[in-house]
Every structure is written in C-alpha cells, then in structure tokens.
Structure 1
Amino acid sequence: MSTSMSNSTAVPTVSSASTPIVLTIAGSDSGGGAGIQADIKAISATGGYACSVITAITAQNTLGVSAIFPIPLKHVEKQLDAVFTDLNIIAVKVGMLADAEIIKIVAAKIKQYQPAFLVIDPVMVATSGDLLLQASAINTLKSELLPLADIITPNLPEGAALIGSEVPNNEGSMEAMISGLRQLGAKTVLLKGGHLEKDENSNDLLIFPDNVHHLTAKRINTRNTHGTGCTLSSAIASYLAQGYDLLQAVQLAKQYISQAIAHADELDIGQGHGPVNHFFNGHADVS
C-alpha cells in the first residue's frame, strides 16, 4: 500500500484531557541540531510536552562530533526514576544509548514503568558509516530493548546492521529486508529510505506483522538535514501521545519532517550540515 504525505487528514482516535507528555532518552548535541535538543524541539512543535533523560554529552557542531562523555549509569537510572515517578509519561522515544549497560538500565525501567508507547530510533551508525555501538551492545539492544518497542525507525545502514545484511542500494533490496526486520520483535518497523539519494522521492517502508505501507514524500535538495532521524522519531512519539494511531502518527511525523527539511535553508546555522527547521510554522499545525 502506498501513502502520499500531501493529503493526510488524520484525527486522533483517542481523546484525553491529560497533557501529552513525551520522554526522550538520548544524548545531548551541543550544536542543537540533533539528539535531546532536536527531540525537545520536535515534540514541542508537534503539540507534546517534552521531558528528558540524557545518556551522554557530546561536543558536537554542524561539522561533526569531537568528543562523547557517557553519563554515569547511576545518574541515568536516577533521571529515569525522577521523571517516571512524577510525570504521566505517555510515550517514550529512545535515541543514542552509549553502551550495553545503559541499554539494560533503560530496558529495565521501561518494563518497570510500562509507558503506553515506546519509539526506538536505533542510533548505531555514524554518517561516515562507522558503527557507534560495539557488537555486544548491538546484541543487547536486539535482545533487551527492541522487542519492547511499538515502533523502531532504522535508516538503511542501521537496518542492515541489525539484521546482518548489506546496505540496500535500491527499493528492491530494501524490501528484501522486511522479513529479517520483522524477526527483531518490535511491533512495527519504519525502514527509512533517505539514503537512496538518487531516487526522486524519499520512500519509507512501514512494516506491520501482516502488511507493509509505502510512505513517500518529495526528496528535498538541501545539505541541512542534521537531526532528521531524531526529529522524525520524536514526532512519532509526540503524535502517539496525543492519541493518534500508529499509522496516523507516522504519516503526520513524515509530513512534519518533510516540511522541516523543506524550510531548513531558511536558517543559517554553522559551517557544515545544518539542522532542519523545527519551528517552520511557529506552531503544531502541519496540515
């Protein structure tokens, strides 16, 4: 099934008087374009309330990452307990987890507090192609955390790393990954096709247990795409927290990130790959 992003008219299937609180568990980006900073911007821009647990502090700008300082495990745990015991967290987005021990703590706390929705952006592969997680940590991610997820959002290198395949170079080889990705245990998988840069459109596969939705949006020619994965996954979590069903949440998030990329060149940030424009419209209405 193919779905265009230009005509989404989704409305929430669940209404709630409570504030849609979304927790992001990820690393901090000092340049403000990705990580915790992008997550908070995306959640806020799409109508949610963002809280955070920081797993690592990066020294980072639009030109790259120069240092990473993992937060001590005990403090990650204390942050998780602090927010979960006080705030009515409806959805959780998980991004950068530095090592296997942090993955185990996050998985244990998700099981303990049982938020309604869990969105995992498996940040595993740098833009350079280098793996950001050791093999043991990838195995822990696959065994402990991914099976808890309502949706995981790998890009093509991350999806390939998760199932041990070659990185796809066309839509046919993307579709060949479907069976392997289903076996990871998450309820759904959004396989993002943004790395197929020769394609006119940016095509993603939303993989359910018994069907696949093809989501397409016009590819936008800009170098300012820093933080797109963080932004998309956070927007999905935000829309889930507001009562949209999973397909609607993904459709709206895809529409939101497409607009944020389309307006990215209106910003003048740094000398390298700048961020998307999270507040392109000034408020949460992306219709």
Structure 2
Amino acid sequence: MSAPPVVLTVAGTDSGGAAGVAADLAAFGHLGCHGACVVTAVTAQDTVGVRAVHPVPIAVVDDQIGAVLDDLPVAVVKTGMLGTPTVVALVADRLCHLPLVVDPVLSATSGAVLAGRSVVDAYVERLLPRAWVATPNHEEARVLAGRDGPPAALAARLADVGCAIVLTGGPEWQPGRREEATCTDWVCLPGGRAEPLRHRAVPTTADHGSGCTFASALAALLAAGRGPSSHQGSGGTPGDLTVDVLRSASRAAAAYVADQLITSSTWDLGRGRGPIAHISRHHQEETA
C-alpha cells in the first residue's frame, strides 16, 4: 500500500478536545491523510470559554516545523490559531513553498479574542498573500478586510490580497421551516467574482470546532486528490486552483462537517456549546 498524503497542522491545542489540533488530526485521518502537527499555543478551555492561553516559544515552534519537514513529505499545510505576529511571519517564511490552507482563527466559539490587531495585520501582509486558500467566517472576514459588508464583497476583497477565499456562512433559518435551513459559503479566486455555495445546515449547539474541522477537511481533500496533484508536496500558488476544484473540495468539506454535526447533535457534552463529533463514519456505521 502506498503511503497516504501528509497534511500538517500548525495550530493551538484545545483542552476540551473540540477544536484546534484535536479537530485537525481527526479530520485528516477520517479523510485518508496522515496528520502531522506543530503546536503554537496551549490553551486551557472548555465548551464555556477560554481560561488561559500559553504561547509556545517561537524557537520551539520553529524546531517542530523543522522536525516535520526534515522527515515527512508534506502535501498541504493547514494553519489554525497562530497567536502572535511572530508566529504568523514564521509560518509565512518557512512554509510558503507548500500549499497553505489558512483558517484565520481570531476568536473562539465562546467569543474569547485570540488575536490582536498586530496578528490581523501580519495575516494580511505576510501570510494571506502566500496562501493557497483562506477560510474565514463572516466576522473574521470583516476584521481582515477592515470593513463591513455583504459576504460576497468581503470574499472578493480578501481574494485580492492574493489567495483564494472560502468565506463560510452560518445557518439561515426559515420561519417555521427549521429542518430546511441552509448555509451559504462564498468562493472566490484572486481577481474573480465570489460565487455562492449553498449546503444544508444542521440545527445544533454542539458545534464547537466546526470551523477548524471545515478547514482541515478542505486541506485533506485537496491533499488527497481534489486539488492539483502536480503541486502536492512541491508548493503551488493560488493560480493552480480553479473554481471547479475549489468548489468541489469545499462542497465535500461542508458535507463532511454536516455529517459530523448530525452525530454531535444527539450528544450532551459540556456546559456550553458542545464539541463537534470526531468519530469516524466507519465507527458510526459499526455502532449504529
């Protein structure tokens, strides 16, 4: 059997196991990839909120990157919580030769702020211009763009920074028809026009970690064959992605997240917004 694609996450931990590195590695494995990790920060958090954030020293982050790159053929890198402008710059410099899927984590599900203005500026000036694709939600897109506006306009503005954008949208409920709710994501390539991607919404509050899981699933799907194979493990630019490829991978990632949310919607875990399920489809089928 040939080795699976390797996807590297550069992100923080979540002591509650819902988001961050835990979500990333689970999604990679479920979608047929081997996951490697670089930890940027250790957080003390649960489903209610973030109690403390402990950044990993920059030299140790750099050592982790070196250890992975020296040993494994990384196909795609997914970034999550980077925490400081120094780490953002390090990732941009050390990993720009690889396809980067950037989840610009600026706050936690609970609302806790995880990135200040200097981190936002580093994303816009250093990392996004070197990334393949970024996956902000509407609020993150507003902060990164420095303005408010409809999601399609924000996606197009951010794409002009230099990378493709998948701006993820939340549930859109119809009065009296909750079971038919949808989400609309907006996909845009640099210099292009944002296109809507509509998919089902899952009515649940057990969704902590869903943003991390979507970006991780997108990275894994691109690494495993939904993206330009000629560039796996050897760099690539946003120009290597077509709208069709990005649309296909985004739809598949959204479907994966919806399946995980359907599972977690039956759970009663935690005192706040519960964790998205990290159980594989195979295990779900065996225990059904």
Instruction: Please indicate the TM-score interval, normalised by the length of the shorter structure.
Output: 0.7 to 0.9
* One-letter amino acid of the structure 1 residue matched with residue 183 of structure 2: S
User: How far apart are 1:108 and its partner, in Å?
Assistant: 1.3
Q: Which residue of 2 aligns with 1:160?
A: 142
Q: CA deviation at 1:32?
A: 0.2
- Tell me the residue number matched to 1:269: 269
Shift in Å, 1:126: 3.6
What SS does structure 2 have at the residue aligned with 1:28?
A: coil
- Aligned residue pair count: 261
> Deviation at 1:214?
1.7
Whether the aligned pair in 2 keeps the contact of 1:224 and 1:273 (CA below 8 Å) is yes
Matched residues in 2 for 1:271 and 1:129: separation?
15
Aligned twin of 1:45? 30
- Find out whether 1:79 has 2:64 as its counterpart: yes
The residue aligned with 1:25 is 10
Partners of 1:212 and 1:159 in 2: how far apart?
Answer: 13
- Structure-2 change in CA distance of 1:264 and 1:41 (3 Å): same
Change (3 A) 1:195 1:266: closer
Question: In the TM superposition, what whole-angstrom CA distance separates every residue of 1:200-251 from its partner, at most 9, and x where no partner exists?
Answer: 3111001123343321122211110000010000011111111113332212
Taking the aligned partners of 2:223 and 2:155, their CA distance within structure 1 comes to 27
C-alpha contact (below 8 Å) 2:171/2:182 kept by paired residues: no
AA partner of residue 95 (structure 2): I
Q: Which has the higher helix share?
A: 2
**C-alpha distance in structure 1 between counterparts of 2:284 and 2:133, whole Å:** 22
Aligned partner of residue 226 in structure 2, secondary structure: coil
Counterpart in the other structure of 2:185: 204
Give, in whole Å, the separation in 1 of the partners of 2:50 and 2:125: 28
1:191 is matched with which residue? 167
Mapping for residues 1-287 of structure 1, pairs under 5 Å: 17-111=2-96, 114-115=97-98, 117-127=99-109, 129=111, 131-166=113-148, 173-186=150-163, 188-194=164-170, 200-209=181-190, 210-245=192-227, 246-282=246-282
Does the 8 Å CA contact 2:188/2:194 hold for their aligned counterparts? yes
Deviation at 1:142, TM superposition (A): 0.9
1:154 & 1:206 partners in 2: Cα distance? 11
Measured in 2, the distance between the counterparts of 1:142 and 1:110 equals: 16
Cα distance in 1 between the residues matched to 2:172 and 2:67:
41
Give the counterpart letter for 1:153 in structure 2.
T
Query: Are 1:263 and 1:280, in contact at CA under 8 Å, matched by a contact in 2?
Result: no
Report the RMSD for the aligned CA atoms in angstroms: 2.2
